[in-house]
Amino acid sequence: MIALRGLMRLLRVKHWVKNGLVFAAWLFTGSRFEGGILSRVLVAFAAMCLASSATYIFNDAVDVERDRAHPKKRLRPIAAGLVPLRLAVGVGVAFVALALILAGGLNPTSLLLVVFYLLLQVAYNVALKRTTLADVFTIALGFVLRAVLGAVAINVGISSWLLFCTATLALMLGFAKRRGEFVNQGEARATSRESLATYSLKGLDMLVGAFSTAAMLSYALYCIDSPTAKTYPGLPLTALPVFYGVSRYLLIVFSENGAEDPTEVVVRDPHILAALAAYLIAAFAAVAGVRLPFLL
C-alpha cells in the first residue's frame, strides 16, 4: 500500500497539466470533433503524460542523494524510501515503452518527437540542468515540443507565433521557478541545484520580466496577425484572459516568492484557474465565429 501511494506521487500526475499544450493546435481547428481528431490528440496527450512521468521517475532516481539534502525534495518517494529504486526504474522503462507505442501508432513524426523529447530530458538530467540558462531553455523547448506534437498528431499546421508564445511563456515560468528556488533555499541553494550558484536575484527578476513581456506581446501579435487570427477574427477575445493570468502569476512571483513550483501555483490559484476557464470559453467562441463587433 505504501509503495502504491508512493508510486502515484512519483508519477506527478498534477504535472500532466503541462501536457495540456498538446491540445493547442486542436483547440483552433474548426473540424476538431470530426474524423477522429479528438481521439488522436487524446492519444498524443496520453503518450506525453507517460513520457513526462518517466522522465520524472528517472530524474528522481538519478538525484536521490541530492534530493535528500533538500528541505522539500527529501519527501519525494524514492528519496524518502517509499518506493524502491528498482521498482521505480521498472515503472519508468514501462512508461517509456508505452509512450513510444502510442506515439508510433499516430504517425512516424509523432514518434520522432516523443523520442526527441525523451533524449532532451536525458541531456537535461545528465548535464544541462547544472548549466545556468541552458537549464531553463531546455525546459522551454520541452513545452514547445508538446505543442508541436499536438499539431503533428492531427496533421495540421501550427502558427510560428503560437510556438513563440509557448516558448516565451515557458521561459517566464522556468525563470520564475528558479527565482523561487533562489529565494526560498537561501545559502544552501547550490547544494540542491548547481545552476543556482551562478544565478543572481537581480538577473532572475530581469529575465522573468523580459520573458513575461515577450509572452504577452507575442500573444497579442498572434491574435492580430497570425494565419489563425485571419481565420478566426474573434481571436482577440482570448487575449484578456492571457494577460490577466500572466499578471496574476507575476504578482504571486514577486509578492509572495511562491513560484518555486509553477504547477502548484496554476492548479491552486483561483484567479489563474478562472483566467484559464475564460480563455477556453473565449477560444471556443472565436472558433465558433464570435467576434468583437467593432473590429475590422
Parse the chain into domains and list their residue ranges.
1-157, 159-296
Mean residue pLDDT of the chain comes to 87
Whether residue 165 contacts residue 222, with contact meaning beta carbons closer than 8 Å, is answered with yes
Mean pLDDT in residue range 261-285: 91
Report the distance separating Cα 286 and Cα 296, nearest Å: 15
Report the distance separating Cα 287 and Cα 280, nearest Å: 11
Report the distance separating Cα 193 and Cα 94, nearest Å: 28
Q: Does the pLDDT at position 223 exceed 60?
A: yes
Report the distance separating Cα 48 and Cα 42, nearest Å: 10
> Lowest-confidence range among 4-13, 19-28, 167-176, 215-224?
4-13
Q: Does the pLDDT at position 75 exceed 70?
A: no
Mean pLDDT in residue range 233-252: 94
Q: What pLDDT shows up at residue 244?
A: 97
| Secondary structure string (H, E, C) spanning the chain | CHHHHHHHHHCCHHHHHHHHHHHHHHHCCCCCCCCCHHHHHHHHHHHHHHHHHHHHHHHHHHCHHHHCCCCCHHHCCCCCCCCCHHHHHHHHHHHHHHHHHHHHHHCHHHHHHHHHHHHHHHHHHHCHHHCCCHHHHHHHHHHHHHHHHHHHHCCCCCCHHHHHHHHHHHHHHHHHHHHHHHHHCHHHHHHHCHHHHHCCHHHHHHHHHHHHHHHHHHHHHHHHHCHHHHHCCCHHHHHHHHHHHHHHHHHHHHHHCCCCCHHHHHHHCHHHHHHHHHHHHHHHHHHCCCCCCCCC
Overall fold of domain 1-157? Tetracycline Repressor; domain 2 (1.10.357)
Most confident of 87-91, 125-129, 214-218, 251-255: 214-218
Mean pLDDT in residue range 226-231: 88
What are the contacts of 242-248 at 24+ separation with CB within 8 A? 242/216, 242/275, 242/279, 243/216, 244/271, 244/275, 244/278, 245/271, 245/272, 245/275, 245/276, 245/279, 246/169, 246/172, 246/212, 246/215, 246/216, 248/272, 248/275
